[in-house]
Amino acid sequence: MNKVLKNSWALFLGMGAIMLAHGFQGSLLGVRAVKEEFSLTATGFMMSGYFVGYFIGAKTIPQIISRVGHIRVFAAFASVASLVVLIHAVYVSPFIWFLLRVLTGISMVSIYTVAESWLNDRANNKNRGSVLSVYMVIIYGAMGFGMFLLNFSDPL
């Protein structure tokens, strides 16, 4: 298991950074929606877009991966996720933010699928559970810390 963990440090570090930003963004958007005086219904609608995208991505990403490969899917959807964060600052509208959250959901499920596929490929039956548990601790710990970072920022 140590060899797998040592060889996967870059993946763990990258996924930790992605999840740190994702946790921060998810919390920040709700606070920003209140500051922009979105209605509670509009805020709920906008935030639910992530899960709509997650569902769409879960159904479509396996076919995309089989056509273009893991590396291209990871690069493309990491880029989309980065771009979507920037677009939130430009367009302040519940409907636009809903569409952006859909794209975030699709992007995140794509990134998860590729990262977990890589870990499954590197692990064997004896250490798969341990490797995936380290991965889960890293991504959920980073996501939680990202939410905590909201204390140090101004939502405008």
| Bigger pLDDT: 4 vs 81 | 81
Closest CA to 15 of 121, 115, 129: 115
The pLDDT tens digits for 95-147 are 999 999 999 999 999 999 999 999 998 888 898 899 999 999 999 999 999 99
Between 1 and 15, name the one with better pLDDT.
Answer: 15
In this prediction, residue 144 carries a pLDDT of 95
CA distances from 152 to 90, 99, 102, 140, 155 (A): 22, 27, 27, 20, 10
Question: pLDDT at residue 4 above 90?
Answer: no
User: Any idea where the domains of the chain sit in the sequence?
Assistant: 2-151
Q: Which CATH architecture has domain 2-151?
A: Up-down Bundle (1.20)
